[in-house]
A = this chain, B = another copy of it.
Amino acid sequence: MGRQAVQESNCVAISCQNCGLYQLCLPMGLDSADTALLDRYVKRRRMFKRGEVLYRIGEAFTYVYAIRSGSVKTYISTDDGRLQITGFHVPGELLGLNAIDEKRYNCEAMALETTSVCEISVECFEELARQIPSVHYQMLRMMSKEIKHNQELMLLLGKKNAEERLATYLLSLSRRFALRNYSPTQFNLSMSRGDIGNYLGIAEETVSRIFTRFQEEGVIASERRHIILNDLERLSAIAREPYSATAQVIPLPRIPNPR
C-alpha cells in the first residue's frame, strides 16, 4: 500500500515471501519438494490498474488471488445499490477463499492502485490441497482469522462512535504495516476518504472532520493521503483498545500434521 518508492521496491524485493501462498505454507514446515510443487501452481501473474475489478459477485469461483503488491478493496451491496466495503487487502493476503461454499464469489474485488497478483486456479488449488493435506488446515486458519477480523468490524460498526472508529482504523493499519516491517507511524493511504467512510459506516465528510480534529489535537498529522501517527497511546485511548507499542508476538499454535 502507499506510493512511496521505498515501499514499492520493497514489495517487489520480497514478493515471493509476500505472495500469500507462501504465507499459507510457511507455518507448515514444507520441505523443498513441497515448495517446488507449490511453485508450479503459482504461474499466472496479472496486473490490475486502479479501479479494475478482479472478480464480481455471482461469478463462478475459478481463481484465488494472492496479492503481490498494491492493494485491493472488497465490497458487497444492497440491491438498491448501496455499497459496504468489507475489507482492504494488502500484499501477502489471499482473496476469494470465502467463495468455497457457493462456488461463486460473494463479494466484488477492485484494485485501489496498480496491483500485481498471482492468479491461482481453484482446480490447481484443490489439487495442491490433495497433495499437501495440511494446506487444508492452513485454509481453515486463514478463514478463521477472517471471521475474527469481521467480528471486530461488526463491533466497530455496531457499537463505536465516529472518533473511535477512525482511531481504531488507523491503529489497525499501523499494526498491519508493522507486521510487514513498514513504519507503523508513517504511511500513505491507498484508499480515499470516501472509501474509509464507507468501510467504517460514516460519511466521508465526517472522516474529513475527524482527521482535522485529530490533527488539531496533535494526535496525528495528515496531508491528503499521507499520515503520521504522533501519539499511538492517545490514539489507542480514543479507540478504546489496549495499547501495544509493537506487534504482539503470539507463539505459533501447535499444528497437527494430518499427513
Hey, which bits of chain A sit against chain B, CB under 8 A?
A: 76-80, 82-84, 86, 97-103, 106-107, 126, 129-130, 133, 136-137, 139-148, 150-155, 157-160, 198-201, 240-242, 250, 253-254, 256, 258
- The answer to whether A152 and B76 have CB atoms under 8 Å apart is yes
Please tell me how many copies of the chain the complex holds.
2
With A82-B159, A140-B136, A160-B78 in contact, is A151–B240 under 8 Å at CB? no
9 interchain residue pairs of minimum CB distance:
A158-B201, A101-B144, A157-B157, A84-B155, A98-B147, A100-B144, A136-B136, A150-B150, A103-B253
A253 to B199, CA, bound (A): 31
Could you pull out 29 A-B pairs where Cβ atoms are within 8 angstroms? A76-B154, A76-B155, A78-B155, A78-B240, A79-B240, A80-B240, A82-B155, A84-B151, A100-B141, A101-B141, A101-B142, A101-B148, A101-B253, A102-B144, A102-B250, A102-B253, A106-B148, A126-B256, A129-B258, A130-B258, A133-B133, A136-B136, A143-B143, A143-B147, A147-B150, A150-B154, A154-B157, A157-B201, A158-B200
A242 to B152, CA, bound (A): 28
Q: A84-B155, A101-B253, A136-B137 are in contact. List 7 more A-B contacts (CB 8 A).
A: A76-B155, A78-B241, A98-B147, A101-B148, A102-B148, A133-B133, A158-B200
- Provide the residues of chain B in CB contact with A146, threshold 8 Å: 147
A144 to B96, CA, bound (A): 10
- Provide the residues of chain B in CB contact with A101, threshold 8 Å: 140-142, 144-145, 148, 253
- Provide the residues of chain B in CB contact with A97, threshold 8 Å: 144
- The answer to whether A99 and B151 have CB atoms under 8 Å apart is no
Q: From residue A89, how far is it (CB to closest CB) to chain B in Å?
A: 14
Q: From residue A149, how far is it (CB to closest CB) to chain B in Å?
A: 9
- Provide the residues of chain B in CB contact with A80, threshold 8 Å: 240
- The answer to whether A159 and B78 have CB atoms under 8 Å apart is yes
